[in-house]
Amino acid sequence: MQHRSEHLIHPSAVVETGANLAPDVRIGPFCHVGPDVVLGAGVELLSHISVTGATTIGAGTKIYPHAALGGQPQDTKHKGGRTSLSIGRNCTIREAVTMHVGTDGGRQATVVGDNGYFLSYSHVAHDCIIGNNVTLTHGSTLGGFCEIGDHVIVGGLTAVHQHVRIGTRAFAAGCSAIVGDVIPYGMVAGNRAKLRGFNIVGMRRSGMPRAEILRMREAYRKIFDPQRPLTENLGIVKTEFSDVEAVMQIVAFMTDRDKRYFCVPPRGDSDAATDDEHV
């Protein structure tokens, strides 16, 4: 490694003129950093990493071999305009992860929050918005324009269809195919994925009281009661559970946009995963 001003850069690395490197950046062997790249303080590129495009990486993020960040979107409608990728602070990006910039006809930006944990071969497509403390496990993939809330975990080899939203603290089981929105705190599994109740483990870890979890389960049964239309159920729940913030998050998520397709419980199973013994 060679010192270049305040940076430690391996002689085999290529850092193009125009790249903006904050202090304490470490760039290992055979890395390529493009001219529009911004690396925050303490960013570490281990080896054989490509960072191109208008890509900004937040302080303290560590990137492992063969990751490719900031490449052009895999979208035939993209005309080559200048779009961006923004990755937050203190993320861990493991081997062969790929993340692309946005499309010029879309949001024009892909945004990844802080403290993300992206395991080997996971993929973030163009125009995605990812919150803080998100985990994509091995081989999980996000299609374009996905929106992923804070503290979401996506299991290995799971595919998320383009434009899908996954709410805060939801959990997607491995090897699932998710083609509909996942409610906050929800747990989904299967091909095509169905809602299997709440992510109880995640709710416990967040410090949610047992009494609140039980109230949420009561609301869950009412939201997905097949005896009434979903819109009517949501109106009832909004009135009866106005004191439960997490339930109000779910109601807001489900009424935020028109004509959304949601992951729902299997037919006849609106009571799924609601046994008190699991709380």
Residue 67 CA neighbour count, 13 Å, CB half? 28
pLDDT at 267: 81
Task: Tell me the domains of the chain and their CATH numbers.
Answer: 2-163 (2.160.10.10), 207-278 (no CATH)
| Beta strands 26-27 and 7-9, pairing class | parallel
Assign 6 a pLDDT band (cuts: 50, 70, 90).
confident
pLDDT at 277: 40
pLDDT at 268: 66
Q: Is the pLDDT score of 135 beyond 90?
A: yes
- Give the N- to C-terminal CA distance of the chain in Å, as an integer: 52
Question: Model pTM?
Answer: 0.94
Q: Is the pLDDT score of 101 beyond 50?
A: yes
Q: Burial, 173: exposed, middle or buried (Cβ in 10 Å; 0-12, 13-18, 19+)? A: middle
Q: Is the pLDDT score of 93 beyond 50?
A: yes
* Nearest-5° Cα angle at 93, 19 to 99: 65
Residue 44 has a CB neighbour count (10 Å cut-off) of 17
pLDDT, one tens digit per residue, over 199-240 is 999 999 999 999 999 999 999 999 999 999 999 999 999 999
pLDDT at 269: 67
pLDDT, one tens digit per residue, over 140-185 is 999 999 999 999 999 999 999 999 999 999 999 999 999 999 999 9
Question: What is the overall mean pLDDT for the chain?
Answer: 94
| Beta strands 193-198 and 186-190, pairing class | antiparallel
Q: Report in angstroms the alpha-carbon separations of 278 from 115, 187, 216, 245, 271.
A: 29, 14, 13, 21, 13
Which residue(s) pair with 20 in the sheet? 38
Which residue(s) pair with 99 in the sheet? 69, 124
